[in-house]
Amino acid sequence: MDERVFFDRLAPTWDANEILSTPDHVRHVLSHTGIKHGDSVLDLGTGTGVLLPAIAELTGNNGTITAVDYSTGMLDIAQSKFAHLTPRPKFMCLDFETETIPGEYDHIILYCVYPHLHTPVDTLKWLRGVNLSDGGTMTIAFPSDEKFINSIHRHKHSESDILPPASELAAWLRLNGLSAIVAESTHDNYIINISKTPC
């Protein structure tokens, strides 16, 4: 099944089934991103926008939020829920692995998205080069460990790759030229930060 269709079908029941991403849990994950007042944030694979209110709390009115997804089903729900958030998110429907997102951002977040990437290293390098500001941070995160994520994907028969333990993924990303470090790896949190140091 085409992945967009897969996520379009999941969209109407996504929020009801999403039990791990509570507001407090999401705030905890975001506390590792370094987002501060006035920052620009790119939320890739925003889905129904589970991160958006907590991102807005951190950026405040002077920040900006751009929320991207290729599933119109997911994005329609995110828009209907958060069109009036402050700062107002800019919603974009596109495939960030094959299409270029305009602009540079202080933070790029891929929350519960990494196993769905087809060319993860190329995509992360492309995003770092084109969309991440100097000194910015790109975060790969999940509200659980890899065992839980992999069990969900087996159950749903989604087209996704096995998620390795955070330390293994970070080491593999470093081998491929990305400066990745594990910010947290526990039963409840899987968080890797990739930095872009100024040349």
Q: Which is nearer to ligand SAM, 51 or 170 (CB)?
A: 51
Distance CA 56, CA 92 (A): 17
List CB contacts of 156: < 8 A, sequence separation 6 or more. none
- Is residue 67 part of the contact set for ligand SAM (CB under 6 A)? no
- Is residue 149 part of the contact set for ligand SAM (CB under 6 A)? no
H, E, C per residue of 157-184: CCCCCCCCCHHHHHHHHHHCCCEEEEEE
Q: Which is nearer to ligand SAM, 14 or 171 (CB)?
A: 14
Query: Contacting ligand SAM (CB under 6 A), which of 33, 40, 59, 71?
Result: 71
- Is residue 91 part of the contact set for ligand SAM (CB under 6 A)? no
Distance CA 37, CA 5 (A): 36
Query: Contacting ligand SAM (CB under 6 A), which of 35, 52, 65, 69?
Result: 69
Distance CA 125, CA 120 (A): 8
Q: Which is nearer to ligand SAM, 70 or 190 (CB)?
A: 70
Chain positions 42 to 61 lying near ligand SAM, rule: CB under 6 A, are 45-47, 50
Q: Which is nearer to ligand SAM, 18 or 171 (CB)?
A: 18
Closest CA to 47 of 15, 84, 90: 15
Do residues 88 and 52 touch, judged by C-beta distance below 8 A? no
Query: Contacting ligand SAM (CB under 6 A), which of 42, 65, 112, 194?
Result: 112
Read off φ and ψ for residue 178, nearest 5 degrees.
-110, 130
Q: Which is nearer to ligand SAM, 91 or 96 (CB)?
A: 96
Rule CB under 6 A: which residues touch ligand SAM?
A: 7, 18, 21, 45-47, 50, 68-71, 74, 95-97, 111-113, 116
